[in-house]
Structure 1
């Protein structure tokens, strides 16, 4: 196997894991999103701590990175809460696709906060993705029906802000296992007071579903880390959208859900925008490599 093939395999594995996380969150039933988030992250914080110990990474942040770590953890927690609410109240594939708007928001936030250049092509792709999201949200329908989709959209936005902070932290030399640990621990601490005062009793099966959600979330995090360790994002990121295929399968098998025609149009537009970005990035990367070779 080449490194690129390994990267593709790992990113598809991460998409499978995250789709299973979403499936178990939905199976856990009508529980508050904050409660679901706590149990999901309680597993993740243990897994991240074990990884830190095994890799001999210290449990401390690099000097000057605390503020950005708090930004990443805050928006990451908000993104999870919004995503879990959307998963619990709408079609699983729709919620998964709205959450996958995050790469486009990363481009936007990177422009404003990391001062990275945004091309006209990228602006067009972001606009197309926003139009595609409107087909899934269907704002013309009743507010009560559109609300979960709007919250799912906001979850994608919050995730984009969180991933932008992750990029900033990586540029500052912060280790990925510690970023995951800090986020998971922060999220557990933020949601713990709610559990202490407004805990909703769960059955043993519901608890099992949430712990499995946390287990697959951890697996997804490790798999996506391995994916990007083997190949650059420009080569493999497009395969992350297989999560929508997996989510569609679980939706049909478990809840007999089939996306509507407007949702499918939205999928096509968002995926098309992402594919265009992927091809655009690949062409630019190859062009830069060829130019460097000519200069040598």
Structure 2
């Protein structure tokens, strides 16, 4: 019988997946805004909300001195991840951009090997290779500029992999909200100069979309935290792939996007390999 906590964890991770897919949707709807402007506005909203939470909880804004280098790297890589994600969303199908972000756990395994000295098993190496093959079906490598948006999606996943590894390095040494602020704060500060470039794109409609995107991002982070507080990642992570379904529905209904058969094959490979990887990770605990 499934425990109440596991049911809560599943519900929360589905809500997190929906929130992140919705964030991507609002970013795509904000036509003509640059990825820099999208990154600034959505993260500024999240920064304000997280700062209020930190004030109420009396957590640290900057973290402990010995942890700041990890917080800085987490923030920089998180900023690169969301910036390149927004770039890829402009040209890719929502579902394609979403599935490429799902490669981040595999890159986390790689960076955990180099940074945390965690062992990589033969099975994990096979899963990494299969996930890479699956991504090629989505990317459809070409020797021209058309490949750039897909490569940006992969860079987003790589950067997220480093950021997630830093979260693992930090563990319980810092408040979760301090860790989030290290990301949203750095993204807001570094992207702020770009808000003044091509201001004609910052219409009331676009700003509203990006504010809603920032709210969706914040909710996603909170739901994700609640999910993993209620159940182990190995038991609920597979439900995160429901986000691909949300993205596909958004793309079809609002943009008439229909993934081709190569992308569908890629989705299947990445999802199946990810679920098998989760299963083996669970059985080895």
Q: Do they fold alike, i.e. is TM over 0.5?
A: yes
Partner of residue 115, structure 1:
117
CA separation in 2, counterparts of 1:155 and 1:201?
24
Contact 1:30 1:88 in 2 (8 A): no
CA separation in 2, counterparts of 1:102 and 1:36?
21
Q: Aligned match of 1:69 in 65, 71, 82?
A: 71
Secondary structure in 2 matching 1:124: helix
Secondary structure in 1 matching 2:14: helix
Q: Which runs of 5+ in 1 are unaligned?
A: 286-296
Structure having the higher Rg: 1
Matched, 1:180 2:171: no
CA RMSD in angstroms comes to 1.3
CA separation in 1, counterparts of 2:197 and 2:149?
25
Partner of residue 96, structure 1:
98
CA separation in 2, counterparts of 1:117 and 1:92?
34
Matches for 1:22-171 after TM superposition, within 5 Å: 22-139=24-141, 141=142, 143-170=144-171
Q: Which runs of 5+ in 2 are unaligned?
A: none
CA separation in 1, counterparts of 2:132 and 2:226?
30
Secondary structure in 2 matching 1:259: coil
Secondary structure in 1 matching 2:65: coil
CA separation in 1, counterparts of 2:90 and 2:170?
32
CA deviation map 1:254-280 (0-9, x unaligned):
011011000001001101110111110
Matched, 1:259 2:264: no
CA separation in 2, counterparts of 1:200 and 1:135?
37
CA separation in 2, counterparts of 1:117 and 1:80?
28
Partner of residue 250, structure 2:
250
CA separation in 2, counterparts of 1:130 and 1:229?
30
Partner of residue 226, structure 1:
226
- State the TM-score, normalized to the length of structure 1: 0.93
For residue 144 of structure 1, report the CA deviation from its aligned partner: 2.7
Matched, 1:270 2:255: no
Q: Which moved more, 1:174-183 or 1:48-57?
A: 48-57
CA deviation map 1:78-109 (0-9, x unaligned):
00011001111110000000011100000000
For residue 72 of structure 1, report the CA deviation from its aligned partner: 0.5
Contact 2:107 2:161 in 1 (8 A): yes
Matches for 1:200-219 after TM superposition, within 5 Å: 200-219=200-219
Contact 2:62 2:182 in 1 (8 A): no
For residue 39 of structure 1, report the CA deviation from its aligned partner: 0.2
- State the TM-score, normalized to the length of structure 2: 0.96
For residue 199 of structure 1, report the CA deviation from its aligned partner: 4.1
Partner of residue 190, structure 2:
190
